[in-house]
Each structure stands twice: as C-alpha cells, then as structure tokens.
Chains A and B, each alone.
Chain A
Amino acid sequence: MRDLTNEILELIRRTSSSLPPDVEKKLRESIEKEEPGSPARGALETILKNIDLSRAQSTPICQDTGTPIFYVHYPVGLSTIKLKGQIRSALAEATKRSYMRPNAVDAIYDKNTGNNLGGDDFPYVHFEEVEGDDLTIELMLKGGGCENVGRQYSLPDNSVGAGRDLAGVRKVVLDAVQKAQGQGCAPGILGVSIGGDRGSSYIKSKEVLFSEMGTRNADPKIAELEERLTSEANEMGIGPMGFGGKTTVLDTKIIGLSRLPASYFVSVSYMCWAYRRRKMTVRGEEITYD
C-alpha cells in the first residue's frame, strides 16, 4: 500500500482552512435575514471575511482546531495499523506547519504534548471495512467551545416535561439550544441521536454531522422533526454569537438508534458555524478531495 501521509496532510490543511461550500452558502443566505447595522449582521459579515481570508492564506478558520475526528472507509486487505500511523504523522506535520494548534493535553498531568498526538484516543480514528476498491478518509474538526455545550438527556426528563417519545425529544433539543446561548459559536448545526447507550449515543450524534447541510433523514416523520427543530430554535432569538437575531441554528440532523428497554437517551452535539469537514477519496492512483 502506498504511503498517504502527504495526501492526508493536504486533507488536514483543507479542512482547517477552507470551509465546505454548503456551509458557506448557508451562512451567506443567513446574513440577509439579519437587520443591517445589527451586531448579528456584523458578526456574520466578520465570519464571511474570515472564511475568505483563511482560505486565501491557508490559515486555520478557527484557532481551536478542535478534536480531529477521522472516519476511514477502507477496502478489504488494507492495513489499518499503517493508515493510523500515516494519519498521526500527517497530523504532527500539520501542527508544525500551523494548520493545526497543538491541542492534546494530558488530563492527569495537564501537559500539552505539543504535536497534537495524545494516547490512542487522540486523534479519534474510526475504521470501517467496506466492499469495493475505494479508500475514503473523512475528517471533521470539532472545537471545544461547541463540544462543551453538547448535552445528553435521559428520558423521561421532568425538568422540561419530556416523555419517552418524539415530542419529548423535541423538548430536550430545544432546551439544549436555549442553554447553549451563544457559547457554542452560534449559528450552530445540531447533531441529534435518539437511543443507544450513553457512549454510542454521543458518538452517533457527531457521526451524523458528516452529512451535507440540508440532508434529511429518510423517514419523513424524522425529516419533519429536523426542520421543525431548526425553525423553532430560531424563534428563540439567540442569534449569531448570542448577540440576538434570527439565525441561531442552521440545520438539524437526527439519527435513530436501537435502545435498551430501560434506556431512552437523547444526545445533542452542537457544531459551531466553523463546521469543518472534508473528505478524500483514493481510487487507484487518483486522489480527489471534496
């Protein structure tokens, strides 16, 4: 198998410095909804200037280059040990080149490793063996500010009157948005998972964020809830950066999982506007980036 370290380095550079077109488009549309001269509109204008500048300079969109979350879909027979090694080397090099901030801090000894490599858990790498010959590597960078405002609820939740059904799910998701205020760098994107155990529920609420803006759940009932949540979240008037305004949430993505009879978890992962995700595909000798 060929060495992909340089190509993964390019994936990291693109992810950190160039916001995906679907996210940028949504932000550009949002600006028109905010009053001219308002702090909300000013915030969005600065955000758009920053997007252009970061892309032109190959500098990080946000200084918090976040948790690097890699999802690798690999053909039968490829060595995941080698791939993981190449991902780690590429990340250390990206940090040296200032595409990434050194972000791995030993939680027991409070020591930053300086190269973005922690234990086996940092960066986070998920491998999935697939049919066919293509190798795809997806990368998402999720900053700490938005990660901190994520929430997990165990239903029923009396604090908001949420029962064990979709009506209850709606209530806790809206509660999470209100509690987040502007802390997670609104306007945000919500990844919601229903079911699972505490661990799988949170993981899936992030995994669902790999899909494009506007991707709706195949189940019409859930698709409707996604759209309703986005619209109702925006009624709260929290606005960009929590300044007040019409744009609080850009999109909501929901995934349903299996649950135990005893458990009914709802996990909300809040993604900031700097919704950095990119994908590379290796097909034979050809490598393409989305």
Chain B
Amino acid sequence: MKQITTPISDDVIRDLKVGDAVALSGMMITGRDAVHKWMIETFIKKTRAPQGDDLQVYEELKKILNGSVIYHCGPVVSGLDTKEYKFVAAGPTTSIREEPYQADVMKHFNVKGVIGKGGMGAKTLKGCEETPAVYFHAIGGAASYIAQTVTRVHGVFKLDFGVPEAIWVIEVKEFPVVVTMDSHGGSQHAVIEESSKKVLEDLLSR
C-alpha cells in the first residue's frame, strides 16, 4: 500500500494507476452537493454574488485545497454544542452527483484528488488528466472504520448548509482508498460498466 500525504505533488499523482491501494494522510476537506454547487456558482461561473462570509471562506479554501483532496462525505459529528468536534461516522457518499462540477472545481483550486464512492464519468476523467488528479475510492458504508482515521477536526465552514453538507476541515491518518480513476485516462468504472453491459445484453437475449 502506498503512503501519500497532502499536499500532493503532480509527480506523485502521475505515478498512480488504477488499482493502486493508497493510505492517505494529512489535511483535507469534506465537500458534497451543496458545496460543489456553491463553489461553481459563486467563484467559478460567478452566476451568484458572494454573500455573508463567502469571500473569506474562499480565501481559506484556496490555501487548504492547493495540492489537497476533497472528500465526498456527509459525516455524523459529535460535539456540536461544545464545538469540540469529533467524527463519529464518516464513509463516502455517491460521487456521480458532482459530475457536472468536479472537473472545474479540481482545476480551479488545484485539487489533486477526490475521495468518494461509485466513481465518476467522462468529464471528471478528463479533468483528472488535465489537472492532474485522481479519483480515490473509499469503501461505502464503512463509516465507523473510516471515522477512526480522522485524527482531528480543525474546523468547519458553512455549517448553515447543515452538518452533512458543511465543509469540514479534517486531518486524517492512513485513510484506506483505492485509485479507480487515474490521470492517464484509466477508469475501473468505465471498464466494469462496459463488461457488465455485454453480460446484460447476453442475458436479455436468453
């Protein structure tokens, strides 16, 4: 298993291939549906004017995300009253919902990888080649197990999006993932989609 710590260099990313098992460490953020939509509309396509603390959060995110990773995750967090936050359960959410946004977000913030489940499509795969970046697949539903790798919660932005949708700034130690989309156009998801389609066609003809 390869050990990789954020921030990640382009060379390290280019070395990764589909099928590589990786233990990730370092700082990263969580971000899912509301966050991606907000990033695109407010800072990338600029179809929405920044409001409240948007610009301050943006400046912070630019620093954190440069060379780092976005984790598609809506965690269960304890300590909400005392602000002594702790991740209780934190598996990945389905990534494909971010397909319209992901490539642009990766390029804009120089994000070196996203962690999620279920894989992503052609637009993100192209974004992985260009940025460069990779897609790290975590084990869906393994929430208590993955939460143990979150050693510290540094803080939270946009808590008004709700606990699952907020931007949690976390530090992880040896978070286990598998590369399923690399920066050379390889996608395990495209391969399985294709092979299962062939079997389905055969089954339907029986």
Residues of A within 8 A of B (CB): 39, 42-43, 46-47, 49-50, 53-54, 57, 59-65, 98, 100-103, 105, 110-112, 114, 143-145, 148, 160-161, 171, 174-175, 178, 181-183, 185, 232, 235-239, 241-244, 272-274
Contacts and interface: CB of A to CB of B under 8 A. Distances in A.
B145 A238 contact: no
Given A46-B145, A50-B145, A241 B137 contact: yes
Interface stretch (B46-54, B55-63, B70-78, B128-136): B70-78
Interface string B168-190: 00000000101010000000110
Contacts of A178: 196-197, 200
A63 B204 contact: no
Which 8 residue pairs across A and B have the least CB separation, nearest first? A112-B162, A50-B145, A63-B89, A185-B140, A60-B89, A183-B118, A50-B142, A63-B143
B139 interface: yes
A110 B34 contact: yes
B192 A46 contact: no
A241 B138 CA distance: 9
Contacts of A47: 139, 141-142
Nearest to B77: A98
A65 B164 CA distance: 11
Q: Could you say which of B77, B145, B161 has the most chain A C-beta atoms within 10 Å of its C-beta?
A: B145
A39 B148 CA distance: 21
Given A60-B88, A237-B199, A105 B188 contact: no
Q: Could you say which of A39, A54, A241 has the most chain B C-beta atoms within 10 Å of its C-beta?
A: A241
B118 A182 contact: yes
**B contact patch SS:** mixed
A105 B32 CA distance: 15
Q: How large is the interface on B (under 10, 10 to 19, 20 to 34, 35 or more residues)?
A: 35 or more
B118 A181 contact: yes
Contacts of B141: 47, 50, 61-62, 143, 185, 272-274
Contact of B192 (A43, A57, A111, A181): A181
A177 to B, nearest CB: 8
Contacts of A182: 117-119, 140, 189, 192
A182 B119 CA distance: 8
B140 A272 contact: yes
Contacts of B75: 63, 101
Contact of B145 (A49, A161, A174, A272): A49
Contact of A148 (B77, B89, B94, B176): B94
Contact of A53 (B76, B94, B144, B192): B144
Nearest to B73: A63
**A contact patch SS:** loop
Contacts of B162: 102, 105, 111-112, 114
A42 B94 CA distance: 19
B142 A65 contact: no
Nearest to B137: A241
Contacts of A57: 144
A249 B206 CA distance: 20
B21 interface: yes
Contacts of A161: 204
A42 B178 contact: yes
A165 to B, nearest CB: 15
A101 B193 contact: no
B90 A145 contact: no
Nearest to B198: A236
B19 interface: yes
Nearest to B18: A39
A171 B199 CA distance: 12
B96 interface: yes
Contact of B21 (A42, A49, A63): A42
A17 to B, nearest CB: 8
B147 interface: yes
A35 to B, nearest CB: 13
